[in-house]
Amino acid sequence: MLVEGVARYLVTNGRDVLIEPIGGDDDVVGLFCAGLPFTTLLQQRGVAALHAAAVATEAGAVLLLGRSGIGKSSLAAALVERGYPLLADDVTGVMLDAGGHPVALPAFAHQRLWAHTLDKMKWRPRARARVRRDMEKYWVRAERHCATPLPVRAAFVLNAEKRRPDIAIESVSPSAAFWTLWRYTHYRRVMDALGQRPAHFRAVTTMAWSVPLARVVRPRNPFLLEALTDRIEAHLCKAGPSGDEEARKKTPPELPAAFRCSPGRRPPSVPVPRRHDRVAAAPSRARAGDGVAGASGPGIVWLASYPKSGNTWLRAVLTNYLREDDEPASINALAGKRYNDRDLFDEFVGINSSDLTDAEVARYRARLRGFLAEKVFASGTVSGETFHRDGRLFAKTHEAYRVPGGPARFRRGGTAGVVYLIRNPLDVAVSFAHHLNRSIDHIIRFMADPAASDPASVRGITEHLPEAMTTWSGHVSSWTVPSELSVHVARYEDLLKDPCSGFGAIVRFAGLEWDDARLDCAIGHAAFPRLRAQEEQDGFVEKLPAAPSFFRAGVAGSWRTALTRGQVKALVDAHGEVMERLGYLRDAEAFLRG
């Protein structure tokens, strides 16, 4: 494992970690040693490494599973405060004892907690040194710590939903529990490289069958930590020491021979795979403006835009075009997923993104995109999505191609092409303010902020990595200047004026098979009245909780009645040069003269 500017790590025989510092101080070198190297050490010993925090109870260990940024460490800290000793934080090792029962292993007596969690729990006096000098994240020693292996009593998987009004806890069946535990296995690719899949399969299967697992769903914002801790405690008391599912008391079925572990197998001596080796760029036949997406094999077509520029409308049209159905596609199942999950980054880069600075994350993300496109997407499926038969996978992004002074954040390798949508910034300001339920003046300042990101920076972390956007002008310029990528630029206003021609050009650029009737049908299914009606009936998972709705008017020129002269002038002063180049400045100047 290589952490640039910090150290290289080599784990052997399930016993030794060799470290070669290359610039990092001792504290930072030790910080990253507790990540992938520690997980690899467990896996070389045949121990299942789960992405979970764990606390001790009188009846055994309780595991808190979940994706990065969901609040596992904060919940564990709150339980420690109520008298439950900490067993492990972030990574919990589970193995089967002599009787075949899952046992959780103790880890370190420290946690890494963000400043906002410390403030919420009034733990500031307990905080020790910062995890890194330029991060508001601190080492905290747990006042209660269990150093003894414990049988696993229960497990909770944490989830957050935008529109969830309260906290709910739902029991999970053994079959669903297996896939949950498999999903939250830490660094599965290393497990496979070490040949530990059979041992891990047995441990996870046994745990899924014998340990009650519950799904905890909470509101995304605010994070109701005290109420969440109350519900977890109440659920544990109600379930009792042995759980509440009779089916789990049965003996697990015999595993197929292919998954059986060889007794006495010695942990292999394999170096930790380097996640950051450069991937050779695949040759591309694409040239900007030639209407061809690129290589014939599987590749990503990025749907890029500044927020509220028509990206979701484009995705709705493409989804309906690909489905070829008589009924409109659900707005909650649109093509063009946004691949900015922390879990995805952590798994394939091999470094906890929460321990990296924003600049470091940005450097690794360009490599991650190329790696995913060429190595993972080559299998034809990723995160439950499959490629269209034409070999294209659509992915949404609001990130700038590059920020001033920084490297390109997208690479040619694995990229079939980019569709970049542009919308009049005057209309963007109105729609963006509605989307965030913020004042238009706030949005105008945001659109002129070189450090702007989506989602906006918060104290601590979120489940999704922020995408650097820079200013509206900077974002547009970064994607419309010549680059190594094949980019098709489309104006939102032109799509509204002549959707058949506009979307037709996008379909051809993406390399999809052409059909006039299909396109007409897709455009009709994605008409704004239908999108609004679906949102009113079924809701929309991408709508922010504070926003009155996601789909608003779907028109051009609403800024004329929504903006004041001062607001129009502020936008022109900030973005006039780019607006003139794109044909948006003349109307704004006429408005100001009138």
User: Does the structure show a pLDDT above 90 at 368?
Assistant: no
Among the ranges 147-156, 384-393, 412-421, which has the highest mean pLDDT value?
Answer: 147-156
73 and 89 Cβ atoms separated by less than 8 Å: yes
Helix (H, G, I), strand (E, B) or coil at 193: helix
Same domain, 441 and 520: yes
In a domain, residue 369? The reply is yes
Whether residue 268 lies inside any domain: the answer is no
174 with 210: CB under 8 angstroms? Answer: no
Please tell me whether residues 452 and 555 are part of one structural domain: yes
pTM of the model: 0.74
Which tokens belong to 338? 């946004």
Task: Please indicate, yes or no, if residue 258 is contained in any of the structural domains.
Answer: no
As a whole number, mean pLDDT of residues 271-279 equals 32
**Last residue of a domain, which of 182, 212, 245?**
245
Upper half-sphere CA count for residue 284 (Cβ side, 13 Å): 26
- Does residue 310 share a domain with residue 180? no
Q: What are phi and psi of 279, to 5 degrees?
A: -105, 125
Q: Which residues of 469-501 are buried (b: 16+ CB within 10 A; e: fewer)?
A: bbbbbbbbbbbbeebebbbbbbbbbebbeebee
Q: Are 225 and 71 in contact (CB under 8 A)?
A: yes
Predicted pLDDT at 568: 96
One domain for residues 398 and 534: yes
Between CA 553 and CA 13 the distance in angstroms is 62
**307 and 233 in a common domain:** no
User: Is residue 583's pLDDT more than 70?
Assistant: yes
Opening angle at CA 476, ends 471 and 480, nearest 5: 150
6-15, 196-205, 449-458, 461-470: range with lowest mean pLDDT: 449-458
Cα–Cα dist 418/301, whole Å:
5
Which range, of 3-12, 242-251, 436-445, averages the lowest pLDDT?
A: 242-251
Q: Of 229, 245, 261, which residue constitutes the final position of a domain?
A: 245
pLDDT at res. 299: 75
Q: How far is the C-alpha of 117 from the C-alpha of 229, rounded, in Å?
A: 14
In a domain, 278, yes or no: no
DSSP H or E segment with residue 394: strand 392-397
> What is residue 488's three-state secondary structure?
strand
Q: Are residues 22 and 123 in the same domain?
A: no
Shared-domain flag, residues 60 and 10: no
Asked whether residue 292 is assigned to any structural domain, the reply reads no
pLDDT exceeding 70 applies to what percent of the chain? 84
Percentage of the chain surpassing pLDDT 90?
A: 37
480 and 491 Cβ atoms separated by less than 8 Å: no
Give the C-alpha separation, 83 to 510, whole Å.
57
Q: Are residues 310 and 402 in the same domain?
A: yes
Q: Provide Rg for the chain, Cα atoms.
A: 26
Number of other residues whose CB lies within 10 A of the CB of residue 173: 12
Is 494 contained in some domain? Answer: yes
Same domain, 426 and 527: yes
My answer on whether 403 and 485 are in the same domain is: yes
What is the total count of domains within the chain? 3
Question: Where residue 279 falls among pLDDT bands split at 50, 70, 90?
Answer: very low
**294: in domain:** no
User: What pLDDT was estimated at residue 378?
Assistant: 53
Of the chain, the end-to-end C-alpha distance in Å amounts to 63
Residue 23 belongs to what domain range? 1-33
Q: What is the pLDDT of residues 303-335, one digit of tens each?
A: 999 999 999 999 999 999 988 788 899 988 898
Contacts of 90 (CB under 8 A, 6+ apart): 51, 52, 53, 72, 73, 112, 352
Residue with tokens 């707005």: 331
The CA–CA distances, whole Å, from 16 to 21, 26, 57, 94, 189 equal 16, 18, 32, 20, 20
Distance CA 306, CA 470 (A): 10
Q: What is the pLDDT of residues 242-266, one digit of tens each?
A: 444 443 444 443 433 333 333 333 3
Q: Give the pLDDT of residue 318.
A: 93
* CATH number of domain containing 372: 3.40.50.300
Check: CB of residue 279 under 8 Å from CB of residue 492.
no
Does some domain include residue 282?
A: no
CB atoms within 10 A of CB 368: 23
Please tell me whether residues 233 and 320 are part of one structural domain. Answer: no
- Asked if residue 9 and residue 84 are part of one domain, the reply reads no
Which amino acid type is present at position 26? D
